[in-house]
A and B are shown apart, each in its own frame.
Chain A
Amino acid sequence: MSHHFVIRVVGKLLIPFILLFGLYVQFHGDFGPGGGFQAGVIFASAFVLYALIYGVDKAREILPDDVLRVGIALGVLIFGGTGVVSMLWGAPYLDYSPLASTPSAGQHIGIFIVELGVGITVASVMVTLFNLFARRGGDDELDAE
Chain B
Amino acid sequence: MIEPGLYNYWIVVFLMMAGLYVVVARGNLIKKLVGLNVFQASVFLLYITMGKVEGGTAPILAEGVTVYSNPLPHVLILTAIVVGVATTALGLALVVRIQEAYGSIEEDELEEKDERDERKLRS
Q: Do chains A and B touch in the complex (CB under 8 A)?
A: yes
Total interface residues on B, CB under 8 Å, equals 12
* A33 proximity list for chain B (CB < 8 A): 58, 60
With contacts A129-B89, A132-B93, A136-B96 taken as known, whether A37 is within 8 angstroms of B82 at the C-beta atoms is yes
* A122 proximity list for chain B (CB < 8 A): 82
Q: Is B96 a contact partner of A133 (Cβ separation < 8 A)?
A: yes
Interface residues of A in 57-77 (CB under 8 A from B): none
User: Which of B58, B82, B96 gathers most chain A CB within 10 Å?
Assistant: B82
How distant is B32 from chain A, measured CB to nearest CB, in Å?
Answer: 18
Total interface residues on A, CB under 8 Å, equals 14
With contacts A133-B96, A136-B96 taken as known, whether A37 is within 8 angstroms of B60 at the C-beta atoms is no
Q: Is B86 a contact partner of A125 (Cβ separation < 8 A)?
A: yes
- Residues in B lying within 8 Å of A, measured CB to CB: 58, 60, 78-79, 81-82, 85-86, 89, 92-93, 96
Q: A33-B58, A40-B82, A133-B93 are in contact. List 7 more A-B contacts (CB 8 A).
A: A31-B60, A32-B60, A129-B89, A132-B93, A133-B89, A133-B92, A133-B96
11 contacts between A and B (CB under 8 A): A31-B60, A33-B58, A35-B78, A37-B78, A37-B81, A41-B82, A122-B82, A125-B86, A129-B86, A132-B93, A133-B93
8 closest residue pairs by CB, A with B: A129-B89, A37-B82, A37-B78, A122-B82, A125-B86, A136-B96, A37-B79, A32-B60
